[in-house]
Structure 1
Amino acid sequence: MAKPAFIITIDTEGDNLWQNHDRIATENARFLPRFQQLCEKYTFRPTWLTNYEMAVDPHYIEFARDVIARGCGEIGMHLHAWNSPPLYDLTGDDWRYKPYLIEYPAENIREKVSFMTQLLEETFQVKMRSHRAGRWAFNEYYAKLLIELGYQVDCSVTPRVNWQFSEGAPQGNGGTNYQHFQDRAYFIDEQNIAKSGKSSLLEVPMSIQYKHSSLMNHAKSAYDRLRGKPRSPSVHWLRPMEGNVEQMKSVVDKTLASGNDYVEFMLHSSEFMPGGSPTFKTNESIERLYLELEELFSWLKLRTVGMTLSEYYQKKVSG
């Protein structure tokens, strides 16, 4: 029986975008080779889902071209609407509010997705096949644009998570509600991206499991509504949060036990840099991160085979 795939996805973007509201720096590009080397040690091939500011950073361009030339990973597209050309002032202060792309006018969405795709393809001289939406916000119109532009695989869906409580534009309705989406790979229905269909776009949802039982989730949800503070259910992701190796292993075990043929890991590129995120603020925390990644990757090496998103797509279409 073939081993399940281990898919590493990195949202490759500016430094500490959680807190930097008036500027975007890309120092984290200098810290990416260490993680790439770790992946190669275990014959894993990451997918670097690349945002605008990184796509024009000379250090990242050099790094990514080397990854492509050696066949040790994939470059895909990631798009944060508030700073990705062509600019369109949706809120009066988009850098502060960080609106979801799906909140912009349809024509501006099309222009932004087309621009980023062309920029990445011209810079790296490879066809863009893989994609993840900025802030996980995805809808049917966005999916149709990706299909038009020749993308094969998207990984924006976060099963069990409702982003409607995470504000974008003040006048908007928040992000996408994925609570009732599928949690395994499926070719999407263009009319309803939560359902399987006959499109050419493969959805590869993130590996996410509930933290609590369904009974506890129901009770907590009812309590939150009574308080007037509804929120998404508590979940565990296959992503490092410092000290959560066993938790990540549990997500892997539960995901594979459910019959899934892959597990999907994610992190932001800035999380490899001290001070690049709220999670890993010091040199010491970065060193602990790498110790935990070594433990996780050595454990996964025995259970999975590394694939990029495009390689996983090829596995699905070839049967």
Structure 2
Amino acid sequence: MVRPAFLITIDTEGDNLWQNHDKIDTRNAAFLPRFQSLCEKYGFKPTWLTNYEMAIDPAYIEFAKDVIARNQGEVGMHLHAWNSPPLYDLTGDDWRHKPYLIEYPEDVIRDKVVFMTELLEQTFQTKMLSHRAGRWAFNEYYASLLIELGYQVDCSVTPRVDWRQSPGDPNGQGGTDYRDFPRHAYFIDQQNIARPGSSPLLEVPMSIQYKYSSLMNGFKQGVDRLRGKKRGPSVNWLRPARGNLDKMKRVAEQSLAEGADYVEFMLHSSEFMPGGSPTFKHEADIDQLYADLEQLFDWLQSRTLGMTLAGYHRQFKDAR
């Protein structure tokens, strides 16, 4: 029996985009080889989901070309609409508001997706097969563009999470509501990305589990409503934060116990650099991150088989 896949997805983007509103630096490119080496130590192959500023950074280009040449990972596409060419002023201050790509006019969405795909394919001399939407915002039109351009895998869905309370365009409706989406991999229905269908695009949702029981989640949401707050159920992700090693293991354990044939990990490239994110501010935080990753990867090595998103697509398709 084939072991479940371990999918490492890295949103490869500029430094501390949570707080930088007027400039984008890419110093985090120098910190990525350490993580790549850790993945290779355990036989895992990360998928580097790459956006515009990293795709034109010489240090990252050299790093990613080497990963591809040695078949030790994959480069995919990630797109932040506010700074990805061709530029279009949606809000009057897009760098501050960081609007979702799906909030732009459809012709602008198309131009941006085509531009990024061509840039990545020309830079890295490889077909783009894998994708994650910037800020997790995805819809049917976006999916249709990926299918048209030959993408095989999307990993934008975050089951059990509702992003509508996270604003992009101040006059918009917020992000995508994924609460009722499948938690397993599925070929999407192009008319409704929330359900399986017959398109060639495989959706690989993030590994996310409820933090509390259904009863406790219901109670906490009721309290929030009385306080005038709108929040979804509390969840844990297979995603590092300070001191959450046990929670990450629990997410993986629960997912595998439910019969999942993969677990999906994510982090941002800037989180490997001290000060590159609000979470890991100091060198000591990075050292603790790597200590946790060593333990997580060692624990997963005997339970899973590392592969890229495109590699998982091949296995999933063959199994069907």
After TM superposition, the score normalised by the length of structure 2 is 0.99
The question of 1:76 aligning with 2:76 is answered yes
Quick check: 1:238 aligned with 2:230?
no
Q: Deviations over 1:183-212 (max 9, x none)?
A: 010000001000000000000000000001
In structure 2, the partner of 1:290 is 290
* SS class of match (2:212): coil
Q: How does 1:248-267 map to 2 (within 5 A)?
A: 248-267=248-267
Alignment: residue pair count: 319
Separation of aligned partners in 1, 2:314 and 2:239: 25
2:251 alignment partner AA = V
RMSD over aligned CA atoms reads 0.6
Tell me what 1:176 maps to.
176
**Residue 45 (structure 2) aligns with:** 45
**What CA distance in whole angstroms lies between the structure 2 residues aligned with 1:195 and 1:119?**
31
How many Å apart are 1:218 and its aligned residue?
1.7
Quote how far apart the aligned CAs of 1:227 are: 2.1
Partner-residue secondary structure (3-state), 2:267 = strand
- Secondary structure of 1:233's match? coil
For structure 1, which runs of at least 5 residues remain unmatched after alignment? none
For the residue of structure 2 that corresponds to 1:299, the secondary structure is helix
Q: Aligned pair 1:203/2:203, yes or no?
A: yes
- In 2, distance between residues paired with 1:145 and 1:216? 40
Matches within 5 A, 1:72-221: 72-221=72-221
Amino acid at match of 2:132: R
Does 2:290 match 1:302?
no
Please give the per-residue CA displacement for 1:130-154, whole angstroms capped at 9, x wherever unaligned: 0000000000000000000000000
CA deviation after TM superposition for structure 1 residue 221, in Å: 1.9
Between the aligned partners of 2:58 and 2:252, the Cα distance in structure 1 is: 36
Correspondence for 2:57:
57
Tell me by how many angstroms 1:219 deviates: 2.0
CA contact (8 A) 1:163 1:232 kept: no
Residue 26 of structure 1 and its aligned partner are, at CA, apart by 0.1
Equivalent position amino acid for 2:220 in 1:
K
> Which letter does structure 2 place at the counterpart of 1:262?
Y
State the shift of 1:226 in Å.
Answer: 2.6
Amino acid of the structure 1 residue aligned with 2:12: T
Gaps of 5+ in 2: none
Offset at 1:302?
0.9
The amino acid of 1:233's aligned partner reads P
Q: CA deviation at 1:232?
A: 2.2
Corresponding letter in the other structure for 1:53:
E
Tell me if structure 2 keeps the 8 A contact 1:162–1:176.
yes
**How far apart are 1:69 and its partner, in Å?**
0.4
- Per-residue CA deviation, residues 47-99 of structure 1 (Å, 9 max, x unaligned), is 00000000000000000000000000000000000000001000000000000
- State the alpha-carbon separation in 2 of the partners of residues 178 and 199 from structure 1: 19
How many angstroms apart in 1 are the aligned matches of 2:93 and 2:215? 41
